[in-house]
Amino acid sequence: MQSYSTAINNNVNTIWLLDISSNSQNILDALEQIPSSINHIKTFENIIGCEQFIRSLSDDDCIVFIADVPLGQQIIPRIHQLQQVLAIYIYSTEIQSNESWFRQFRKFRGICSQLNQLATSIPSRYRRRPRRETDDLFSFDILSTDDNQEKSTAELDGHFIHSQLLIEALQKMKSTSTAIEEFIRFCQDQKDIKDQNCYLKLVHEFQNEYSSDKSVWWYTRDSFVYRMLNKALRVQNIDVLFVFRFFLRDIAQQLKENQWSSPGYVYRGQSLSKYELKRLQQSVGKLVSINSLLSTTRYRDVAEVYVGNTEGLEKVLFIIYVNPLIDGIKPFADITFLSDFPQEGEILFMLGSIFQIESVQIGEYRVWLIELKLCSDHDEALKTIFNYLRRESSRCELDLLALGNLLHDMGKFEDSKNYYNRCLKLLPPNDHVWKPYCYYLLGLVATENGDDKCALDLLSKSLNIRRQTLKSSDPSIADTLTAIARVHYNSCNFGQALQLYREALAIFQQAFGDDDLTSAMTYTNIGVVCKEQKLYFDALNYHEKAREIRLKNLPPGHFRFGTSWNNMGEVYQRLGEYGTALKYYKRALEIYKRSLPPEHIEIAIVLVNKGSIKEEKVDLRTALPFYKQALNICLRM
């Protein structure tokens, strides 16, 4: 029999092995219905020739295999394990009597009695977007939850929180006429991409043809957009994500406009490392945030194709229950009519979507089945801390400064410095509101980086402008005095530092009263200076005052409670009360690990403090691991 062929498409082949002697016309009629967009088709009625052809294909080729019952029972045991075989279907009018035998094979997808369905709808599902393992990996953060609100909020994971806030900050940035131009310039500057001519041609096409209603289409297309964005999300490259900000906002809007409306299940096949799988196994009942756009499908058999067969990676099938009626969920939509690959039945979730891990179990053929349920950040474990941090981040009206402040809170000081400088360059020369604020923020970064001279220069600029344009009782002046005091503290000018802190405290108390967080921070700073002046009981008194104010103003688990415990621990260490000091360091570290990113300098400081106690007790073997952990954090910052 001659083979019937259409154009080869994305290395996915559909192979038919059928006895056509009795109904050849029906089969040929079905083949004639195949549209030109469907994958390469070959038909066989000879088992030997069919198997030889399959084995001759390269590992990059993929097969959807369709056979009748007698021929399928002979060949499937011999070809089932071949890497090229994605899925197996059987043509039979007697579905129930034949299905049980084929169920023993993992790649078996079902029995179909309709030739036209075999010829069109089933093969079309496997017209796949070309994807490499590294393109399709995604990162995730896991959050502990508990029925007790105070406990669960205290156990928030810092990376989880700040990843969510970073996503929100990028999406909220106002649209500008230059955003796409900036994106194009960035893309044109990438010189390390192979096949520059093809790449630049696509960049030029994007420049000329992109519009907000095509954002999903561009994301699903096999192009630099998909790969560049996914990589940036995976490693959290801030500069790349920043130039993609308009694109992320457009995708979110398209998903909202096409929000999926009914509860149901979607699926995703994925290869995971053993470490990632273990994290999920140990986190059943917890929340997981996906730090990328999450592609899923309505079709379980399509998802199973993507479970992978890569050595060293685990095969995983995510089974996800979604209810679009839940308040506060990130948008997700059926993008069949928006996608460059409509055959996949793709359901796309906005990055930052939150799910609860329901179960992790091993299934047939060593495929792990992970059941998830879509959740929202209105969960009681999240609401309190998120609402507080959102209020904090919304205080700044300028997008670049708001993003810089968030990055500063995450301990990404160089990244925050870049955005403060960008904002400073955009301000008019006669600006007296935001320019001193930029100098102030840049001074804080210089202080964090240990450049006291640069910090003092920048903060002095800020103070001079503010004193010329504001009342002497304005809290902004107190902010700057506090920052300058810290520089003097770092230079061991403790008397000067204490004088400036007390001057700032008087302004804060006049403006906000005695129980404001600004007073708490100033009490903390005064306590730190008192410790260096060996006024240990005065120091403890100031730190306790600060903690009491924080209890009145902050949600449980806020990282500033870690600040209180660490500072008290340092005082007790100076007093030689090592047991009490270690107890407070432990509390501080627990809070920091759950409220700050894992590479934050505050975590390193507590680790150094714990190590120094062990060193003072001449327990060098125990001290060394703490110092190594702290060093690793500093090297990764």
pLDDT in tens, 272-329: 888 889 989 999 998 888 888 999 999 888 888 778 666 678 889 999 999 999 888 9
| The pLDDT of residue 373 is above 90 | yes
Contact, 296 vs 347, CB < 8 A? yes
Q: Which residues pair with 90 in a beta bridge?
A: 67, 111
Q: What percent of the chain has pLDDT over 70?
A: 83
Question: Which of residues 381 and 60 earns the better pLDDT score?
Answer: 60
User: Could you give the angle at which helices 95-102 and 69-79 cross, rounded to 10 degrees?
Assistant: 10
Phi, psi of 94 (to 5 degrees): -115, 80
**Stronger pLDDT, 419 or 60, i.e. the higher one:** 419
CA distance 402 to 391: 11
| Residue found under tokens 């929340």 | 287
The radius of gyration of the chain's CA atoms, rounded to the nearest angstrom, is 30
pLDDT 10s digits, 215-236: 999 998 878 898 899 888 887 8
Q: What is the mean pLDDT of the chain?
A: 84
Residue 636 or 279, more confident? 279
Please enumerate in sequence order all residues whose Cβ is within 8 A of that of 8, keeping only pairs 6 or more positions apart, or say none: 39, 40
Q: Is residue 511 within 8 Å of 525, Cβ to Cβ?
A: no
pLDDT higher at 462 or 621: 462
Q: pLDDT tens, 168-189?
A: 888 888 777 788 999 999 999 8
d(CA 123, CA 14): 7
The SS3 assignment for 611 reads: helix
Non-local (6+) Cβ contacts of 16 within 8 A are 27, 41, 42, 43, 44, 66, 67, 118
**How confident is residue 87, by pLDDT bands cut at 50, 70 and 90?**
confident
Greater confidence (378 vs 44) lies with 44
Which superfamily does CATH assign the domain made up of 259-380 to?
Answer: Toxin ADP-ribosyltransferase; Chain A, domain 1 (3.90.176.10)
CB 595, CB 559: distance < 8 Å:
yes
| Predicted confidence (pLDDT) at residue 266 exceeds the cutoff of 60 | yes
CATH of domain 12-124: 3.40.50.2300
Q: Decide if domain 562-637 falls under CATH 3.40.50.150.
A: no
* Residue 457 CA to its chain's centroid (Å): 37
Report pLDDT digits (tens) over 428-479.
988 999 999 999 999 999 999 999 999 999 999 999 999 999 999 999 999 9
Question: For residue 23, what pLDDT is reported?
Answer: 57
The closest alpha carbon to 127, from 277, 266, 11, belongs to 11
Can you give 270-310 as a three-state secondary structure string? EEEEHHHHHHHHCCCCCEEEECCCEEEECCHHHHHHCCCCC
Q: Is the pLDDT of residue 542 over 60?
A: yes
How many C-beta atoms surround the C-beta of residue 21 within 10 A? 8
Please give the pLDDT value at position 622: 87
The whole-number pLDDT of residue 155 equals 40
Most confident of 15-19, 622-626, 632-636: 622-626
Give the span between the Cα atoms of 426 and 29, in whole angstroms: 67
pLDDT given at position 39: 46
Q: For residue 176, what pLDDT is reported?
A: 74
* Least confident span in 134-138, 547-551, 608-612: 134-138
- Token pair recorded at residue 293: 């756009």
Mean pLDDT, range 47-54, rounded to an integer:
90
With H, G, I as helix, E, B as strand and everything else as coil, classify residue 534: coil
- Could you tell me the strand order of the sheet in which 85-91 lies? 40-44, 12-17, 62-68, 85-91, 108-112
pLDDT beyond 90 at 389? no
Burial class of residue 191, CB neighbours in 10 A (0-12, 13-18, 19+)? exposed
40 pLDDT band (50/70/90 cuts)? low
Put simply, whether the predicted model's pTM sits higher than 0.85 gets the answer: no
Whether residue 43 contacts residue 67, with contact meaning beta carbons closer than 8 Å, is answered with no
Give CATH 1.25.40.10 domain extents, the chain.
Answer: 562-637
Closest-CA residue to 142 (of 174, 164, 175): 164
Domain with CATH 3.40.50.2300 in the chain: 12-124
> Residue 76, class by beta-carbon neighbours within 10 Å (0-12 exposed, 13-18 middle, 19+ buried)?
buried
93-133 tens-digit pLDDT? 776 666 778 888 878 877 877 766 666 656 556 555 444 44
How sure is the predictor about 555, in pLDDT bands with cuts at 50, 70 and 90? confident
- The ranges of the chain annotated as CATH 3.90.176.10 are 259-380
Evaluate whether 357 touches 133 at the Cβ level (below 8 Å).
Answer: no
